């Protein structure tokens, strides 16, 4: 058990070190790629699918994408110290669940992330910050924001499939 615990601690330290070392330029490139990939998902879903729920207990397709955006604003603001242009408003709760309104809101969120990260320096990435009550480096918080948007975009693959739409191909690079 001690070996497993030690292994997990070492893995966490390694991952944290890797994320803390990502450059501003690499982060911007990844967010631009994620924006294009998410846009392909938004484009692929027919307009009548934006209010679609895979099951009654889950978010609609639009809500998934708007939730992704709410979290992007939160994490990018936490990492950079720059105020979110939407303040404490939730786009998931305020934006119409139409294809046009959802796409605009989501793309605006990515634009905020990209422009904010472009305004940071490589040295900023290793500076301390806090998100969700956890202290981490700004680079790690940006990595968590990226992980979150990837997670929710990935969830919408099922929504597309259930609507008979083939999801966009993977865009790793």
Burial-class residue 78 by CB neighbours within 10 Å (0-12, 13-18, 19+).
Answer: buried
- 59 lies in some domain: yes
- 173 lies in some domain: no
Which pLDDT value is given to residue 21? 74
Which pLDDT value is given to residue 17? 47
What SS3 class is residue 129? strand
- 169 lies in some domain: no
Which pLDDT value is given to residue 9? 44
CA gap 159, 77 in Å, rounded: 29
Give the domain extent around 126: 2-162
* Predicted structure pTM score: 0.88
- 145 lies in some domain: yes
- 170 lies in some domain: no
Which pLDDT value is given to residue 1? 52
CATH number of the domain bearing residue 104: 1.20.120.450
Residue 33 dihedral angles phi and psi, to the nearest 5°: -65, -45
Which pLDDT value is given to residue 173? 86
Q: Each residue of 128-164: pLDDT tens digit?
A: 999 999 999 999 999 999 999 999 999 999 999 999 9
Q: Each residue of 8-67: pLDDT tens digit?
A: 444 444 444 454 578 999 999 999 999 999 999 999 999 999 999 999 999 999 999 999
Region 116-127 average pLDDT: 96
Which pLDDT value is given to residue 10? 47
16 or 126, which is more confident? 126
**Domains held by the chain: number:** 1
Residue 130 dihedral angles phi and psi, to the nearest 5°: -145, 140
- 83 lies in some domain: yes
Question: Encoding tokens for residue 41?
Answer: 């998902």
């Amino acid at each position: 058990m001690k070996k497993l615990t030690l292994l997990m601690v070492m893995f966490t330290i390694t991952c944290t070190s890797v994320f803390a070392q990502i450059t501003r330029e690499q982060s911007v490139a990844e967010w631009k790629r994620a924006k294009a990939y998410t846009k392909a998902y938004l484009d692929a879903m027919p307009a009548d699918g934006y209010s679609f729920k895979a099951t009654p207990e889950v978010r609609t397709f639009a809500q998934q994408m708007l939730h992704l955006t709410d979290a992007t604003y939160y994490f990018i603001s936490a990492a950079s110290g720059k105020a979110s242009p939407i303040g404490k408003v939730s786009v998931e709760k305020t934006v119409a669940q139409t294809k046009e309104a959802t796409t605009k809101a989501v793309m605006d969120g990515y634009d905020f992330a990209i422009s904010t990260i472009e305004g940071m320096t490589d040295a900023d990435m290793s500076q301390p910050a806090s998100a969700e009550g956890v202290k981490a480096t700004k680079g790690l918080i940006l990595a968590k924001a990226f992980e979150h948007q990837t997670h929710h975009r990935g969830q919408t693959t099922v929504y597309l499939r259930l609507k008979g739409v083939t999801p966009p191909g993977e865009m790793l690079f």
